[in-house]
Amino acid sequence: MAGVFKNVFGSQSSGAASDDDFADFVEAPNPSPASLVADTTTVPAYSTSGAVPYTKWYRVWERTSPKDFMQEAMIMPFILLIVIFHVWGTRKNRRKARDWAKAHIPALQKEFAVVGFDGIARPAEDDSVSVELVNPESLLKERAANEFAAYATGRQNVAFLDIALKMPKRYNPITYFMEYIFSFFFESWEAPAQKYEALMYAFDGKEKDLIPVLGKDTSTLKVNQSTYDGFIWAVVHKSHMRKFRTERYDASMTFSKDHPRLPSWVTVMSESAEITENLLTADLAQAIEKAGHDFEYLIVTDQPIDKPTKIEETTPKKRMQLSVNLASDYASTLPLFNQFLRLTDRLVQVAHWRGEVMRKVRNTREEEIKKLRRVEEEEKAEERKLAAEKVKKEERERILRGMTAEEQRKFLERESQKGQRKSMKKYSRKG
């Protein structure tokens, strides 16, 4: 019994340590925390603190070498070049747009009550605030890094004016150079150009429809005097004439002829010589000549640009459009821009043609409408034919479903014989 108690209380003479059955339950020694004080014999001489164990994880200069970054070193110059090119191209396009605005926005502010997309009218001429204090650049809208837009409204005889500035994609070096390369090798590929296109819509006596607020009191408006006859007339640079005629439906309805008032590198496209004599003033011809080769085209039209596919698309929409390249000095092209802004006044004044001229203009449009009507009638006839065939087919299937197998066989034989007789008749008629 005494031996048992000695074993329970862990006697020193116990043989528990030698007992293999209880070897798994022997308690492991408690771990002792490692000393935070590093052994000075193992710490390098350049270590300033012994509190943190030495490791290479945060010592990049010891784990790596310049050879490990060879791929990055080869890619980074191209990325840096693209970023620099993008910043340069974006800033240059914005600078071009700013220069255009500084030269042309004052002219717009003199002609229109509202310039810009905010709808705020400019100060009156007798106000203390001068028009020149308006920041021209703030009146432009940047649609893309190579496209800018301007807007103006609030002028007699003009509903509104849209201006689009188009520039090369200088912010993308790949696209920028590829467009130049393709234009050099392929004639159909247009070279990138920097230009502005101004599109002006005429009221044409529709002030009350376009401005509902004015419908209440129009006693002071000269609504009836803002109308003029519809026609197509253009002055085009000869280097753009082929593309101009092929890409525009309205230009294809005119004939080309040089004019003694104009330089040799431009031509007139008109429906009547009388129209040219009344619209081509000396000031306009001088402005076109002064613009030089920056001038592309000026057109007055009432027909769509794209060829109409329906009669509804031939409804006249009177408008004027000017396309001019962006010049380094706008002193040469600004007179043409001013002539363009006042062109509607000239149209309202003189564009009321004789009956013979209007008869010729209407005949051209009526011929085009007849062609569209003929095509539309052919399409409707084809639709009626398909609908009749569909009804006939459904009736045939209904009859066949109500027959027995023998009756269906006889019915199909009769159809086959009838078809053969028809083909024989056609053959005999051809013979």
Spatial distance between the Cα atoms of 142 and 80, rounded to a whole number of angstroms: 25
Spatial distance between the Cα atoms of 292 and 239, rounded to a whole number of angstroms: 12
- Per-residue pLDDT of 203-247, as tens digits, reads 888 777 766 555 455 455 444 578 899 999 999 999 989 889 999
Q: Which residue has the higher pLDDT, 245 or 28?
A: 245
pLDDT at 101: 92
- Per-residue pLDDT of 244-288, as tens digits, reads 999 999 999 999 999 999 999 999 999 999 999 999 999 999 999
Cα end-to-end span (Å), the chain: 139
Assigned token pair, 35:
């000393």
Assigned token pair, 254:
């005119």
Spatial distance between the Cα atoms of 273 and 71, rounded to a whole number of angstroms: 69
- Determine the 3-state secondary structure of 131 from DSSP: helix
**CB 288, CB 295: distance < 8 Å:** yes
**CB 275, CB 353: distance < 8 Å:** yes
Q: Which residues of 95-121 are buried (b: 16+ CB within 10 A; e: fewer)?
A: ebbebbbebbbbbbbebbebbbeeeee
- Which H/E stretch holds residue 70? helix 70-111
- Per-residue pLDDT of 284-331, as tens digits, reads 999 999 999 999 999 999 999 998 888 888 888 999 999 999 988 889
Residue 136, class by beta-carbon neighbours within 10 Å (0-12 exposed, 13-18 middle, 19+ buried)? buried
Identify which of 192, 145, 195 has the alpha carbon closest to the alpha carbon of residue 171: 145
pLDDT at 421: 79
Assigned token pair, 133:
């204090």
Confidence label for 43 from pLDDT (cuts 50, 70 and 90): very low
**CB 268, CB 280: distance < 8 Å:** yes
pLDDT at 231: 93
Share of the chain above pLDDT 70, in %: 78
Model confidence at 39: pLDDT above 60: no
**CB 201, CB 160: distance < 8 Å:** yes
- Per-residue pLDDT of 371-415, as tens digits, reads 888 888 888 888 898 988 888 888 888 888 888 888 888 888 888
- Determine the 3-state secondary structure of 264 from DSSP: coil
Tell me which long-range contacts 392-396 makes (C-beta under 8 A, separation of at least 24). none
Spatial distance between the Cα atoms of 285 and 259, rounded to a whole number of angstroms: 10
Assigned token pair, 236:
């085009």
- Determine the 3-state secondary structure of 168 from DSSP: coil
Give backbone dihedrals phi and psi of 147, rounded to 5 degrees, phi first. Answer: -135, 130
pLDDT at 222: 45
DSSP code at position 28: P
Assigned token pair, 264:
């040799």
Confidence label for 51 from pLDDT (cuts 50, 70 and 90): low
